Structure 1
Amino acid sequence: MTTINHQLVSLADAADALAVSTRTVRRYIADGQLDAVRLGHRTLRIRVESIDRFVTARPVGRPRRGAA
């Protein structure tokens, strides 16, 4: 049997994890920066791995490439 290991969190939980508003999380989803799954007419869940990718893609304190 295949094990499914997709961790999903609510919009509010994703907003708390990222320290932003739920409106900002919705904007990130619309922009394709976060992966979300619609489980019903009003139920939206965000994939935890996309939150991890989002956070690790934005390090602070490192010089940007090409910056002089």
Structure 2
Amino acid sequence: MPATLTRRLVTLADAADALAVSTRTVRRYIADGQLEAVRLGRKTLRIKADSIERFIDAKPVGNWR
């Protein structure tokens, strides 16, 4: 029985778009441990989509959630 992949990975650019920041800021979030990333080769870096969702949920503004 094949394993089902439930984790989604996104590019730096996609993560930056989702967070409305630059790719440089996304790299800073990864370095600070605020976002989880996976290296898929020497130059290829992907961000775990669920870590983006957790990052967004952890930073509410006012009463908005």
Say whether the fold is shared (TM-score over 0.5). Answer: yes
- 2: distance between equivalents of 1:57 and 1:35? 14
| Deviations, residues 10-54 of structure 1 (Å, cap 9, x unaligned) | 000000000000000000000000000000100000000000000
State yes or no: 1:24 paired with 2:16. Answer: no
For the aligned residues, what is the CA RMSD? Answer: 0.8
Q: Which has the larger radius of gyration?
A: 1
User: Tell me, which stretches of 5 or more residues in structure 1 are unaligned?
Assistant: 63-68
What residue is the counterpart of 1:12 in the other structure? 13
Structure 1 residues 48-57 or 3-12, which shifts more? 3-12
Shift of 1:6: 1.0
Which of structure 1's runs of 4+ aligned residues deviate more than 3 A?
Answer: none
Shift of 1:5: 1.1
TM-score (norm 2): 0.91
